Chains A and B, each alone.
Chain A
Amino acid sequence: MELVCPAGSLPALKAAVDHGADAVYIGFRDGTNARNFPGLNFDRDEARSGIEYARRAGRKVFLALNTYPAPAQWDRWCAAVDQAAGLGVDALILADPGLMHYCAQTHPRQRLHLSVQGSATNAEAIAFYARQFGVQRVVLPRVLSLQQVRAIIQRVGVEVEVFGFGSLCVMVEGRCQLSSYVTGASPNMSGVCSPAYAVRWEETPAQRRSRLNGVLIDAYRPGEPAGYPTLCKGRFEVGGHTYYAIEEPTSLNVLDILPQLQQAGVAAIKVEGRQRSPAYVAHVTRTLRAALDASARDPAGYAPRPEWIAALDKVAEGACHTLGAYHRPWQ
């Protein structure tokens, strides 16, 4: 299984390559990708340097262009496709069918991956993208059980990539408008969820409160650790109880099931987090590299080592982890 790691900057890309990523995925510095955060991502020259660096080490670079262009953005998104194809990225990660059509017509030799934002959760949807646009790999949304992942791989003729570590979207990617409902900016259209500019922190003697465009997302007692107010990870009141009504802050972590994923025929494991630091990328890449190598060497004897779990929990959102939807009872 390929290890696909995130890079929001050239130092992060180098860290991923140096610590054992088989491929690194990046995005341009604008709204064309789903991590459109201030100070992040690559301009053309940085992308070129990154590709050269990875190539010298025999690794690949994928470029995510995985937001859905509105009519006014169409030309700029197409120009970004042209630019990425011109740079010679190993694969373009797209979500929008219109853009995939453009790419398949204009750059027929460009390898295409279907982004997780494309929301392909079943074999028929995957078959559509493969037939229409020649998509060669799909990244599955983080909503499928291990059994469902296995069933899909048996039925489709394209490679399947799954998420292995990082922040967990509890909603089906590409099918969540919660962020635009509150802030006007969504992952699909703007490449952001719960954007920082809409966040406001309030301190009172009794509480620290986080708001997103005025909506109270969470309130913390003095001394209680406070997390970023991603709106689905706040505490709300339902039926007289206040709790994490949608999802608690936690990271997805597949260390426990690496041999099963390998046996299912998963082509690649993806790490989330282009918004994270080069140190994070190095740390996670190194740990997962060791685990993947161990699982490949001896799947039957594989067991996640305590130091790997500890290393990943240290950098995990909420400092804890879950198998998420892979483990059916979580659903």
Chain B
Amino acid sequence: MKLSLGPILYFWDRDTVLDFYARAADAPVDIVYLGETVCSKRRALRAEDWLGIAERLEAAGKEVVLSTLTLIEAESELGAMRRLCENGRFTVEANDVGAVNLLAGGAGFVAGPHLNVYNAGTLDMLAQAGARRWVLPVELGREELAALQAARPAGMETEVFAFGRLPLAFAARCFTARAHNVSKDDCGFCCADYADGMLLSTQEGKPFLILNGIQTQSAETCNLVAELPEMQRLGVDVARISPQATGTFEIAEIFRAVLDDALDSNTGRARLAAYAPHQSCNGYWYGRPGMDWINP
């Protein structure tokens, strides 16, 4: 089973991003997803910067995939997506059906976690359009996955979001800007001050969600390390780790050790707790509310 690094979901500055991917070149991951998937205003890196990172990672032996933005509204966003889809060199992860439209019939693409793939009919349709890997939507669990794996089109790889704060929702409104009492057009890039997003708690002080610009995430960290053996039995090809400000490469080491049988999954799970500042969750995998924690 392969490990992937999902796209960075937060707004980090250019040097931080470059350092992060310099480290990723030596990390025990097989696939690296690159690019901005949340907000088109975040442009700390230019297209050439991303391509430079992609080339360096490829030279280090990684499979590189360029991820598209998820919510595409403006003409400028469509243009950026079109250029990404036509890059001619790297595989693209489509996070919007608009990207599927541009990629259909081409060299093959990844159907990202933000396409709504809930059944074999949709998976089959994407396979015909040229998808060669798909990512399980975060709200689906092992039961749906098992049925989808049984009906999986030939040559299609399956990836599961296995570690990180869950990307749960997208909106037109920027909630980080709202928290600063400014509009999205006048945001001052305030999300850059929150390398792991901005915590939203209930009035009882319970950490609940993370505001990350127009994206809302879970405050709890999804941790499916103990479920890796079950994923392997179900024929999952790739487990995704979602980057966070600290610990991403330590997390990857633990996942790799569990996959290599160098570490038992319970110990791995216990060690990963250190990288989940607001508790862990795995409920979706078991067909429960996503925020639940089920002891396997």
Contact = CB atoms under 8 A, between A and B. Distances in A.
Nearest to B220: A181
15 contacts: A70-B119, A71-B148, A97-B97, A97-B125, A101-B122, A120-B97, A129-B97, A151-B75, A172-B170, A172-B171, A178-B168, A183-B289, A184-B288, A216-B206, A236-B200
A143 interface: yes
Contacts of A96: 116, 118-119, 121-122
Interface of A: 68-74, 95-99, 101-102, 118-125, 127-129, 131-132, 142-145, 148, 151, 170-172, 174-178, 180-184, 186, 188-189, 213, 215-219, 232, 235-239, 241-242, 245-247, 325, 328-331
Contacts of A124: 72, 78, 81, 96-99, 101-102
Contact of A181 (B166, B185, B211): B166
B203 to A, nearest CB: 5
A178 B138 CA distance: 11
Contacts of B148: 71
B236 to A, nearest CB: 16
Nearest to B98: A124
A330 B183 CA distance: 7
B290 interface: yes
B3 interface: no
B133 to A, nearest CB: 17
Contact of B289 (A125, A127, A184): A184
Contacts of B199: 238
B245 interface: no
A237 B205 contact: yes
B169 A238 contact: no
A309 B205 CA distance: 39
Nearest to A237: B201
Interface stretch (B14-22, B172-180, B248-256): B172-180
A330 B173 contact: yes
Contacts of A99: 119, 121
A247 B173 CA distance: 9
B198 interface: yes
Interface string B170-210: 11111100110001110000000000001111111110110
Nearest to A246: B175
B144 A175 contact: no
Nearest to B146: A71
Contacts of B53: none
Contact of A144 (B125, B139, B166, B172): B172
Given A119-B97, A245-B200, A325 B173 contact: yes
A215 B73 contact: no
Contacts of B74: 148
B120 A71 contact: yes
Given A69-B119, A219-B203, A238 B198 contact: yes
B62 interface: no
B91 interface: no
B71 interface: yes
Contact of A216 (B116, B204, B209, B288): B204
Nearest to B207: A237
